[in-house]
Amino acid sequence: MSIKEIITVPDEILKKVSEPIEKVGINEKKLIIDLFETMYDSNGIGLAAVQVGILKRVLVIDVSNKDEEKSPIALINPVIRNFSNELSVYEEGCLSIPETFIEIERPKICEVEYVDEKGSKKNLKCDGLLSTCVQHEINHLDGKLIIDHLSKLKKDFIIKKISKNKKNPDRVVV
Ligand code: NI
């Protein structure tokens, strides 16, 4: 198992729609372990497979506090079945968009249907931070990022800033 490199904007893969998993096998189980390791290593509370370059509908979440016991949840083929009308707002960051935080309003409560790492169908009622996190991660599976909530101008500005800060390989003249 290993910690994977997290892909950041403006990589085009982040805009792609991930494919459903047909059967939970050894590769999917390995992928889930890698996603958890990568997410914990980066101090994230959620990570989708596309963020490590794998276009499969798999994501991992852990919204527990640092001083609490871990509560990892892996969701395969997640689908949101119900949304509340009531909204909540969080300042959201994303491991694929460094140093950027955007206030986003989303349904406060949602119900998500998914398959767990053992291949069983599950249902989870999510409230508050967990609800926001599940919706953020499912957006990743559909190629949607938090900057897509912004105007094109603001979005381009953020992407430009991030691209500029990215380390370029050493330039050599031969
Ligand atoms: Ni994200």
CA–CA distance, 61 with 91 (Å, rounded to integer): 17
> pTM, whole model, 2 decimals?
0.93
97 alpha carbon to ligand 1 midpoint, in Å?
7
138 alpha carbon to ligand 1 midpoint, in Å?
9
Residue 32: Cβ within 10 Å count: 22
Question: What residue has token string 């290993």?
Answer: 2
pLDDT beyond 70 at 46: yes
119 alpha carbon to ligand 1 midpoint, in Å?
25
User: Is CATH 3.90.45.10 correct for 12-166?
Assistant: yes
Residues marked active site are found at 137
137 alpha carbon to ligand 1 midpoint, in Å?
6
At 134-170, the pLDDT tens digits run 999 999 999 999 999 999 999 999 999 888 887 666 6
Structural domain spans, the chain: 12-166
Name the strand (E) or helix (H) holding 165: helix 152-165
